[in-house]
């Protein structure tokens, strides 16, 4: 039951979503957006912590090499360390700032969970090259517009992003021919690349789900093969008994 749950194609995205929510909760507590003493915060903190404890222990238990899994998932272990109980045991409750800082180590630990996914996404169809092109185009055009039309960097950056995405609010309009030429280039880059970005993201999630389903099918085939082998052994034993 548990093995089937953690092997489900939607399990990993679901846990990643919980990780993002937990990071928001921890960052909010660090910057005093939420009160750490409120029932709402404590309840969510306990629920999320329980989910990650279950995830770590379940994957560790069903790992083919538990020692290797523990070594390669040190950050996951950090994410489930009970800082509250540790500080209470050591009677260091007065060092609240240090306590909050240590809780933020969970942000790093949980971020590591989906960093591999982000890295794979960036390397799908060379997506990182497209993003580098877009960012470079925005930064260079912002700098040129700021120099040519003497606008602030923030206004120039805003104009570059709005122009590249072809939103065109019209609150900032280029006046000279060079600025208009830059706008044309930005629009062409945006039109040509944003379609690639959306198609790459779609392909990544489609292939990722397909690979997960293939892994599940292979696992089922292995299980069926094991069952057939056990039945074959039983038949052999029955044949030997009948022969005797």
Average pLDDT score over residue span 25-38 = 75
- Residue 99 clears pLDDT 60, i.e. is over it: no
Q: pLDDT, tens digit, for every residue of 163-217? A: 888 887 878 888 888 888 988 998 988 888 887 888 887 777 777 666 666 766 7
What is the residue extent of each domain of the chain? Answer: 2-103, 115-210
CATH 3.30.1360.70 assigned to domain 115-210? The reply is no
- Residue 93 clears pLDDT 50, i.e. is over it: no
Q: pLDDT, tens digit, for every residue of 102-156? A: 566 666 666 666 676 777 778 877 888 888 888 898 999 999 888 888 888 888 8
Number of residues written out for the chain: 244
Name the region of 176 (left: φ>0; alpha: ψ -120 to 50; beta: rest): beta
């Amino acid at each position: 039951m548990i093995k089937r749950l953690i092997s489900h194609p939607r399990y990993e995205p679901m846990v990643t979503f919980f990780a993002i929510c937990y990071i928001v909760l921890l960052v909010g507590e660090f910057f005093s957006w939420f009160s750490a003493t409120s029932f709402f915060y404590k309840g969510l903190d306990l629920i999320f912590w329980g989910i990650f404890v279950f995830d770590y222990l379940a994957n560790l238990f069903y790992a083919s090499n538990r020692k290797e899994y523990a070594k390669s998932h040190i950050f996951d272990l950090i994410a489930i360390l009970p800082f509250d109980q540790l500080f209470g045991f050591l009677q260091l409750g007065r060092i609240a700032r240090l306590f909050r800082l240590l809780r933020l180590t969970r942000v790093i630990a949980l971020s590591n969970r989906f960093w591999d996914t982000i890295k794979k996404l960036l390397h799908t169809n060379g997506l990182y090259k497209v993003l580098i092109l877009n960012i470079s185009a925005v930064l260079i055009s912002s700098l040129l517009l700021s120099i040519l039309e003497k606008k602030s960097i923030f206004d120039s950056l805003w104009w570059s992003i709005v122009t590249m995405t072809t939103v065109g609010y019209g609150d900032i309009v280029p006046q000279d021919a060079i600025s208009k030429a830059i706008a044309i280039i930005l629009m062409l880059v945006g039109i040509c690349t944003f379609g690639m970005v959306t198609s790459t993201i779609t392909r990544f999630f489609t292939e990722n789900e397909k690979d997960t389903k293939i892994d599940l099918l292979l696992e089922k085939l292995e299980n069926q093969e094991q069952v057939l082998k056990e039945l074959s052994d039983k038949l052999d034993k029955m044949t030997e008994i009948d022969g005797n």
